[in-house]
Amino acid sequence: MKFFVTTPIYYVNDVPHLGHAYTTIASDIVARFNRFLNKDVFFLTGTDEHGLKIQKAALEKNYDSPKKFVDELALRFKNLWDKYYISYDRFIRTTDEDHINLVKSVFLKCYKNGDIYKGVYKGYYCVSCEEFKSESEIKDNDYKCPIHNKPCEYLEEETYFFALSNYEKKLLKWYKLNPNFILPSSRRNEIINFVKQGLKDLSVSRPSSRVKWGIKVPFDKSQTIYVWFDALFNYMTAGLKKGFWPPNLHMVGKDILRFHAVYWPAFLMSLYKYDIEKKLKSFNFTEKEIKNWDEIQDKKKEKILKEILDVYLPQKVFGHGWWTVEGKKMSKTLKNVIDPEELLEKFGPSSVRYFLFAHVPFGQDGDFSYKAFVERYNADLANDLGNLFNRSINMAFKYFEGKVPYLDEDQRNILKNYLNKIKNMSLKEIEELYKKVYEEKVFENSDLDILLLGLLKKTIYEVIDYLEYVNLTKIFEVIWKYIRYINYYIDKTAPWRLKKEENIDRLRFVMYNILSSLFAIAALTYPIMPDKSKEMFNMLGYEVKDLKNHPEFAKKQNLLDYFFLEEGKTLRKGNILFPRLNLEEAK
């Protein structure tokens, strides 16, 4: 099964900031979890390099040409993503030749399809947004952009327009047919309300005399194609070339959700207008239904319509929130901008990757503070995960000369019986056993052992379920719930006491279970923290050479097979995974 995930392409008028890193790491985690599930993944990121903002920035910084300026900045993004182990398959740039050619061809096709026409635009323009603003959006803010708080420029100029108003009802129909198209649900309601207020036709070109840096309209060199029309089609340039279409997930910040959830599907509906109509005709839809498919109410026909649109339109757009710093908006003036390079140097990539999605429910706005970072790091990474690995490996060296203990035939049969029992247990039954063992602390030894395997099943099923809704925070929570249970299992089975009592059979069985659970944790955390997961696998005697793809030895056809570690395998002592942090040193 194919899976196509994208970040927005980032505007290169300045260096990468925390918001860029947040979106890109989120997309990387999603891509990696899908590889973990044996999907054929195509992960796209890149840079948006055309437009007036770039043109002005290059001039202000005394570059000979905008191209030299964007070449340098694109490299900064690539270098940062390498440091954060971003496993993209293509880094696209809007200055790439294949992209320029595609944009020209789709602009021409939308024009021939009757959705692009020439007119005169009068209105207020925000250079930072590269977008015209309605007077109602800015008049109460002294005609300043509500996002950038900079004065908007009043313009009156000849441009080409896209007939967005033609797609108002069709977009609403698409949202109805695909209720998970916009995530989280709160953002969906915002977009639907925006569209219901009425869509105005969108200016999709700028006079070349004013915006020189960009792709020229193929049939009118006096006009430059609007930077957002140019940028959005990067997904098509890269996706079609690799045989991935449509995108399964666009990951974006909430400030650009409108472009991806309104303009982008409308552009595609225009581009594929006659393809959609031809398919509807093949299913014997009437001429009226073909021309006005947004008015179809018949449930069977709606199902067919959705299946047709699914071939051409993105499946999901997730609009996440913004980060503030100790309650204040990030600002160069306030000198509180969080530099992802600086975070990397202080804490390493895995700690940052973990904190950003464990600390704040993904989708909501989040507040960054070093105090919160250190507290979360010490509790979840140093104590829960790091201590789990270090003490488990040390016990294996102390009690079994650094090897995974061998089980006898009776113990292997016990594990097989546990596995069969778990396969027949519902997730609800596993949760009830968890409450009994972990919360009420009423159990037999067999309950402890069964739950170690059962909770792994529940964890994997929940990871798959939460991944469908891009709920990264919940994914982290269920994995850490399992990590905490393994620590609880160690405390309750007390291998040190079994050794002291010379109960070697039970000690072998318990240590085998613990080490097998560590293998499962290394596999589950690989999408979150690939470099630290590599260290975990190394401790368990496995070599990870490629940090992009999920290790082949950690891809199991039967997900519960993660539990069964190779008996007799030689382990390795490693460094402390997550040394504790001191707040004063971290600031």
Q: What tens-digit pLDDT sequence spans the chain (587 residues)?
A: 999 999 999 998 878 899 999 999 999 999 999 999 999 999 999 999 999 889 988 899 999 889 999 999 999 999 999 999 999 999 999 999 999 999 999 999 999 999 999 999 887 878 777 676 777 777 777 778 877 678 888 878 999 999 999 999 999 999 999 999 999 999 999 999 999 999 999 999 999 999 999 999 999 999 999 999 999 999 999 999 999 999 999 999 999 999 999 999 999 999 999 999 999 999 999 999 999 999 999 999 999 999 999 999 999 999 999 998 877 777 665 667 789 999 999 999 999 999 999 999 999 999 999 999 999 999 999 999 999 999 999 999 999 999 999 999 999 999 999 999 999 999 999 999 999 999 999 889 899 999 999 999 999 999 999 999 999 999 999 999 999 999 999 999 999 999 999 999 999 999 999 999 999 999 999 999 999 999 999 999 999 988 888 888 777 667 677 778 899 999 999 999 999 999 887 77
Rounded to the nearest 5 degrees, what angle is found at the Cα of 584, between the Cα atoms of 581 and 587?
A: 90
Give the pair of three-digit tokens for residue 168.
Answer: 């108002």
Strand arrangement of the beta sheet that strand 249-253 belongs to: 90-93, 40-48, 2-11, 249-253, 317-320, 182-183
User: Is the domain covering 370-586 a CATH 2.30.29.30 domain?
Assistant: no
Residues 6+ apart with CB under 8 A from 393: 539, 571, 572, 573, 574
Residues 25 and 62 sit within 8 Å (Cβ to Cβ): no
**Residue 250 annotated to the active site:** no
Catalytic residue among 50, 99, 126, 170: 126
Closest CA to 367 of 330, 400, 404: 330
Task: Identify the burial level of 43 via C-beta atoms within 10 angstroms of its C-beta, where 0-12 means exposed, 13-18 middle and 19 or more buried.
Answer: buried
Catalytic residue among 299, 332, 335, 441: 332
Residues 6+ apart with CB under 8 A from 378: 580, 581
**Residue 110 annotated to the active site:** no
Residue type, 175: Y
**Residue 550 annotated to the active site:** no
Catalytic residue among 2, 212, 242, 329: 329
**Residue 329 annotated to the active site:** yes
Provide the 3-class DSSP secondary structure of residue 313: coil
Q: How many Cβ atoms sit within 10 Å of the Cβ of residue 95? A: 20
Q: What is the pLDDT of residue 14?
A: 75
Between β-strands 2-11 and 40-48, what pairing exists: parallel, antiparallel or unpaired? parallel
Question: What are the residue ranges spanned by the domains of the chain?
Answer: 370-586
Q: What is the pLDDT of residue 559?
A: 65
Provide the 8-state DSSP code for 180: T
**Residue 152 annotated to the active site:** no
C-alpha 433/C-alpha 448 separation (Å) is 9
Catalytic residue among 110, 129, 273, 316: 129
C-alpha 461/C-alpha 455 separation (Å) is 10
The distance of Cα 436 from the centroid of its chain, to the nearest Å, equals: 35
Q: What is the pLDDT of residue 333?
A: 59
Q: What is the pLDDT of residue 464?
A: 95
Q: What is the pLDDT of residue 332?
A: 60
**Residue 20 annotated to the active site:** yes
Give the pair of three-digit tokens for residue 96.
Answer: 């790439």
Give the pair of three-digit tokens for residue 389.
Answer: 């690995």
Closest CA to 546 of 530, 535, 559: 530
Catalytic residue among 110, 145, 173, 474: 145
